[in-house]
Amino acid sequence: MARCDELAAYTEDPGRITRSYGTPALAAARDVIGQWMRDAGLEVRTDAVGNVRGKCHASAPAAPALLLGSHLDSVRDAGRYDGPLGILIALETVDHFRHRARPLPFPIEVIAFADEEGLRFQTTYLGSCALAGSLDSAFLDRVDENGVTLRDAMKAFGGDPGALAATALPAGAALAYLEVHIEQGPYLESVDAPVGVVTAISGQSRILAAFSGEAGHAGTVAMHLRRDPLPAAAEMVLATENLARHTSGLLATVGTIDVTPGASNVIPGQVRFSIDVRHPEDTVRNDMVSLLERQVREVAASRSLGAEWRIARDHAAVRCDAALTTRLAEAVAAAGLPVERLPSGAGHDAVVMSEVVPVGMLFIRCAGGISHHPAESVTTSDVAAAIDVLDRFVDTLANEKLQ
């Protein structure tokens, strides 16, 4: 907890926590993490994208490694636990195994990912994409708001854009990837459980929709002659909420709405809005997206409006590995804690890592479900519970390998 406080001081935004990819603030935080890794006896290196990675020795050094980690970057005006807590818990667990008489039968690599939030270049998961070998080289030409390319930022950060391919994990190099993370939602608090086993990371569709009609004078155009797109958008906001409220597990959000021309005495001519749709089952999500599209077309037709519908982003759901999930649940029970299973509505590095290695996740209860906000908060006893669970999980995995 003290280390989370200490890391919070590394920011590019005095007075609040902001650490985006490639910045001196992130580099300084990375140096501190690197030193803590060395203090825990790990062999530390920075890879081509700028992730810091610490590996512990094992009785079979060439055996596939257990990867533990989370991200060190943050959103703007962030809390202090989203990301760093998962790295520090992994480090704590590795430290616990260091002094055991019998070394682990597999190496553990603790990874602090350099970019998960994608704040600076709008590129989420850069750090884990490099490990998964799925970092799109076209991203290197992206520029931040000051015109700096990702390529140059990577170099300034001590990375090597030319060596990205070599950073990818070779097939069979890793046993599993496990991430501990704050829940970022209120479920665990509502069931009074310190930790929860993640079953899946929800798929996500981000839709950009629009209605277009005819702008006009608010004082002269009779109501029955109007082609006003804003009431149509209002219908869709309510329809979206209604659909999600009546579909188990579905989360749907209209997060932006843009009215043109946007004056109090002008009938709008066009309304653009976004719909974010998430569900752990891809078939349900896809069905609901189709249903919403149909509704948009129907609403447009009934009001003589034009309609646009574009899917800007479409991420499939990721299932956590069944064997890892079972072992995690057993570790939770062995720690004397209630076993709660839940899907994650937020994306994580585990989404990308699942392309190359089985993944598992453990969530920690956070106050009010608040995250991406300075009020983000966890209790010391819940963090201790998560460390206990991770210790038990690693111990069980080690015993299985030794049998």
Instruction: Name the residues that contact Zn ion, by CB under 5 A.
Output: 82-83
| Rg of the chain taking only CA atoms, in angstroms | 24
Is the Cβ of residue 161 or residue 347 nearer to Zn ion in the bound state?
347
Residue nearest to Zn ion (CB): 82
Q: Which whole-number Å values give the CA distances from 283 to 245, 248, 270, 286, 288, in the listed order?
A: 18, 13, 32, 5, 9
**Closer by beta carbon to Zn ion, 82 or else 228:** 82
Largest Cα separation within the chain, whole Å, is 86
**Least distance to Zn ion, CB of residue 89, Å:** 13
Helix axes 84-98, 380-402, angle to 10 degrees: 50
Q: Considering the complex, what minimum distance in angstroms separates the CB of residue 121 from Zn ion?
A: 17
Tokens standing for residue 86? 């998962």
- Minimum distance, C-beta of residue 71 to Zn ion, in the bound complex (Å): 6
In the bound complex, what is the minimum distance in angstroms from residue 198's beta carbon to Zn ion? 13
Q: Which lies closer to Zn ion via its Cβ, residue 106 or residue 177?
A: 177
Compare residues 19 and 392 and give the one whose CB is closer to Zn ion.
Answer: 19
User: Which of 119/210 has CB closer to Zn ion?
Assistant: 119
Question: Closest approach of Cβ 179 to Zn ion, in Å?
Answer: 9
Q: 3-class SS at 119?
A: coil
d(CA 310, CA 99): 56
Q: For strands 216-217 and 266-267, give the pairing.
A: antiparallel
Q: How many CB atoms lie within 10 A of CB 21?
A: 28
CB of 70 to Zn ion, least distance (A): 7
Could you tell me if residue 336 is left (phi over 0), alpha (psi between -120 and 50 degrees) or otherwise beta?
left
SS3 141: helix
CB of 80 to Zn ion, least distance (A): 12
Residue ranges of E strands in 147-248: 174-182, 195-201, 203-212, 216-217
Of 180 and 329, the one with the shorter C-beta distance to Zn ion is: 180
- Residue 372 CB, nearest approach to Zn ion (Å): 8
Half-sphere exposure of 99 (CA within 13 A, CB side): 6
Q: How many CB atoms lie within 10 A of CB 190?
A: 11
Task: Specify the residue, 17 or 271, whose C-beta has the smaller distance to Zn ion.
Answer: 17
Q: Toward Zn ion, which CB reaches closer, 82 or 109?
A: 82
Q: Residues of 147-170 as b/e, b for ≥16 C-beta within 10 angstroms?
A: eebbbebbeebbbbbeebeebbbe
